[in-house]
Amino acid sequence: MRNLDAYSDDAFKFYNDFIKRKRIPKEDLNYKNRLTLLENHISKRYELYDIKYLANELPDINPEIYTSEQNKDLLSLYRFGAKMLVDLRIKLTTTKNNRVSNDCQNCTIGEIGSFDHYLPKDLFPEYAINPKNLIPSCSICNSYKGIKWQENGKRLFISPYLDALPEKQYLFAIINVENNDIGIEFQIDNRNNIPTDLFEILRNHYTKLYLCSRFAENCERVINEIKTEIHKYSKFLPIEQIKEIIIECANDNRKVYGFNHYIYILQIALVCNVDFLEKYVGIELSGPVEQL
| pLDDT number for residue 128 | 96
201 pLDDT band (50/70/90 cuts)? very high
Q: Please report, for residues 18, 75, 139, 280, the alpha-carbon distance to residue 84 in angstroms, rounded to integers and kept in the order given.
A: 7, 16, 20, 50
Give the pLDDT band of residue 214 (cuts 50, 70, 90).
Answer: very high
Predicted pLDDT at 288: 46
Q: How far apart are CA 286 and CA 244, in angstroms?
A: 16
- In percent, the amount of the chain with pLDDT more than 70 equals 96
Gap between the Cα atoms of 88 and 91, Å rounded: 5
User: Who wins on pLDDT, 104 or 100?
Assistant: 104
Confidence of residue 279 (pLDDT cuts 50, 70, 90): confident
Q: What is the pLDDT of residues 21-59, one digit of tens each?
A: 888 877 888 888 999 999 999 999 999 999 999 999 999
Query: Is 0.85 topped by the overall pTM?
Result: yes
Structure confidence at residue 233 as a pLDDT band (50, 70, 90):
confident
- Model pLDDT, residue 290: 46
Mean pLDDT for 155-161 is 93
In the predicted model, is pLDDT for residue 289 greater than 70? no
Q: Tell me the average pLDDT of the chain.
A: 90
**What mean pLDDT comes out for the span 84-107?**
85
SS3 for the chain is CCCCCCCCCCHHHHHHHHHHHCCCCCCCCCHHHHHHHCHHHHHHHHHHHHHHHHCCCHHHCCCCCCCHHHHHHHHCCCCCCCHHHHHHHHHHHECCCCCECCECCCCCCCECCEEEECCCCCCCHHHCCCCCCEEEECHHHHHHHCCCCEECCEECCCCCCCCCCCCCCCEEEEEEEECCEEEEEEEECCCCCCCHHHHHHHHHHHHHCCHHHHHHHCCHHHHHHHHHHHHHHCCCCCHHHHHHHHHHHHHHHHHHHCCCCHHHHHHHHHHCCHHHHHHHHCCCCCCCCCCC
Q: Quick: pLDDT tens for 167-180.
A: 999 999 999 988 77
- List pLDDT tens digits, range 101-138: 788 989 999 999 999 999 999 999 999 999 999 999 99
Residue spans of the domains in the chain: they are: 11-145, 171-281
Helices 83-93, 11-21: axis angle to 10 degrees equals 150
Greater model confidence, 234 or 133: 133
pLDDT of residue 178: 83
Mean pLDDT value of segment 196-223: 95
Q: How confident is the model at residue 291 (pLDDT cuts 50, 70, 90)?
A: very low
Of the ranges 40-49, 57-66, 179-188, 256-265, which one carries the lowest mean pLDDT score?
179-188
